[in-house]
Amino acid sequence: MGDPLLIIPTEDIGIKDSLSYEEIPVQILDRQVRKLRTQEVASVKVLWRNQFVEETTWEAEENMKKR
Residue 49: its pLDDT value, please? Answer: 86
Q: Which domains does the chain have, with CATH numbers?
A: 23-67 (2.40.50.40)
Q: What is the pLDDT of residue 10?
A: 64
The answer to whether the pTM exceeds 0.75 is no
Better pLDDT: 35 or 1:
35
Strand order from edge to edge, sheet including 25-35: 25-35, 40-48, 57-60
Distance (Å, whole) CA 48 – CA 57: 8
The span from the CA of 20 to the CA of 35, in Å, is: 36
Q: pLDDT tens-digit profile of 9-61? A: 766 666 677 777 778 899 999 999 999 999 999 999 999 988 888 889 999 99
User: pLDDT value at position 44?
Assistant: 96
- Other beta carbons within 10 Å of 27: 11
